[in-house]
A and B are shown apart, each in its own frame.
Chain A
Amino acid sequence: MWKQPYFVIGFSIIAFFLIGSFVYEWIWGNIPRQVYYIMEGGRAVEGAPISPNWQFPLGSDQYGYDMLGKLMLGAKYTILAALAVGALRMLIAVPLGYILGTYLDKHRKWISSLADSMHYIPLTLFAAFVLTPVLWMPQEGFTTTIWERIGVQVVIMALLTVPIVAILIANEAALLRDKEYILAAKTLGAGRFRIIRKHLYPQMREKIAVLYGQQVMETFIVFAHLGLLNLFLGGTKISYDPMFGDPPMSISYEWAGLFGSTFRYLQGAPWLPLAPVLFIALTIFAVSLMMEGYLRSKNPTAKKRRKAAVKDPVVEWNREQLREAMVKLKERSPEK
């Protein structure tokens, strides 16, 4: 796995964001640097939001905070939450799927048609609808702490698509269960639990890993969509001041919030919403790189084919022999 370049590249991108995020906070504290205007030759040339330049690679926001700093500070919330959502979803869905696929196989059909109806409700919409009471700040302020809210959000988002993932796994397990070797194991007296643990799970390990990657990618997208609806990871701070109300703000610097609160500035200051979305895209890309690398390390057919194409010394030697024989033949023929 660690020899696959795809996996290593993907892993280092994510590791860079995560470690960078913690290191940034450790060195510079959890408030990014703030600059109101840039001076050049004694006069101000540009006020906040500052467009990207050498000093601020991603520019600064409308209050003069450094975008790169904000993104780095926010990386840990977004990435860890997405990983947690995927992990929790798999932790619930995998055992459930196995139970459905083996113990409750008679009921699998109608349960799967029930779960199937979820395909008609857009995920983002459902998530937004269900999460609004958790994340939208009520008039009198939040009664929960930020970590509680993040926890509740992760749990709810994980639960939302558990039925679909569980049915996927159940169908897969039911397919595998009809194979001969499982039948043989059954005949030898293996119980259902043993079959799951020793036969079904090892067979499906790769599929489950890929499914996990897909869940994480999906979660990133849903986070971004929720950001568009002003529902940010860990809650949305709303100012109920009727006169000088601030726009809805994210409490942490997580990426969905950075995108959601700035996408109205797309034309005026395109780097504000583009930078977080690009970071999200990069992370999703990193996850898909890791998945591809993992798969390649598990079934190295692609590698083998390339190795076969590499010149084999024996073949080479044979060819050499053939060529010599041909040359000899040719030399001999004019004499005849």
Chain B
Amino acid sequence: MKLILKFFTAIAGIILASSLPLLITGWLVGEWRWRAYFDSISSTLQELWPLGDIAFFNNRIQQPVPLFPNIFEYIVYSLEILFLALVAAVTVSLILTVITMLLSEKARERVKMALYFLESIPDLLIIMLAQLTVVLVYKQTGFLISKIAAIGDDRIYWLPVLCLAILPTIQLYRLAMLTFQEEERQMYVDLARALGFSKVYIILVHMFRNAIISVFFQSKKTMWFLLSNLFVLELMFNLPGIMLFLSDNMYPLGFLVAVFSFFLPMFFLYSFGEWYFVRRLRGKEAV
């Protein structure tokens, strides 16, 4: 029930945001254009129905095309890249965390420090360096690691996924390190150690499942960041994804459609995760 309410407030928020530029244009000349704002919202909502009639402008073939089912290609491609990068980032960062937790206290502090400063690298720099490296390698050896731009309906995967995954990996790595270190101070870890369990066993079996919950609840910011990065990535690699579609269609309806297309999967992912972890936490308390 609460979830449904949350879902609808989020949708209402996005709809209200979709016509915001009109209000801002009004502020620039010093008027409050509430009327135009609400007119724009209602006309956008009217346009939304029936869904089959929506058309948008495709920059690649230079003519309007119906929204459905063409949009699904864009959405699927974007989501594929997003989730591949997410899975890669989560896996790599957790593996690295477990390995780092086995090191000495001093080494851990050094790793944390390095991660802190690595976090400040802008995503643009990573993408540009990756593209330059690929071209350089190609020029030197004649071996093309990956295409650096998509032309037409080309699909390139692993280089964009790599570029997208690097920064979230660093962020999640640091986050997981902090959480695991917090967890290490708990009593049950001392108890397990006293009982003679090995360090690896304690980390993998006992600490892992407690820390992962806390990491999940703190990872929302990383996801937010990941979405912004996806946007830039699609522009830089010229990927035919939903963000590129949006940058061609910067008006309320386009904004609404594009935001919804990744809001829905993300929302369900997070709600499911929250529901699952909260249930597990409650279950533990009851026992």
Residues of chain A having any CB pair with chain B under 8 Å: 110, 113-114, 116-126, 128-134, 143-144, 152, 156, 217, 220-222, 224-225, 228-229, 259, 263, 266-267, 270, 273-274, 277-278, 280-281, 284-285, 287-289, 292
Contacts and interface: CB of A to CB of B under 8 A. Distances in A.
A172 to B, nearest CB: 14
Given A118-B13, A120-B259, A263-B236, A221 B122 contact: yes
The 5 closest A-B pairs by CB, nearest first: A117-B10, A122-B227, A122-B228, A133-B25, A124-B228
Interface in B1-48: 6, 9-10, 13-14, 17, 20-22, 24-25, 27-29
B184 interface: no
A280 B246 CA distance: 26
8 contacts: A116-B6, A117-B9, A120-B263, A120-B266, A134-B24, A152-B27, A277-B122, A285-B120
B29 A113 contact: no
Contacts of B10: 114, 116-117, 120
Nearest to B259: A121
A122 B224 contact: yes
Interface stretch (B60-68, B93-101, B124-132, B188-196): B124-132
Contacts of B85: none
Given A129-B21, A263-B236, A266-B132, A120 B267 contact: yes
B247 A281 contact: no
Given A281-B122, A281-B125, 4 more contacts: A125-B227, A133-B25, A267-B132, A285-B117
A134 B27 CA distance: 10
Contacts of B255: 129
B135 interface: yes
Interface in B86-132: 116-117, 119-125, 128, 131-132
B235 A133 contact: no
Interface residues of B, number: 49
A125 B228 contact: yes
B223 to A, nearest CB: 7
A247 B234 CA distance: 21
A221 B28 CA distance: 25
A234 to B, nearest CB: 14
A93 to B, nearest CB: 15
Interface in B127-152: 128, 131-132, 135
B178 interface: no
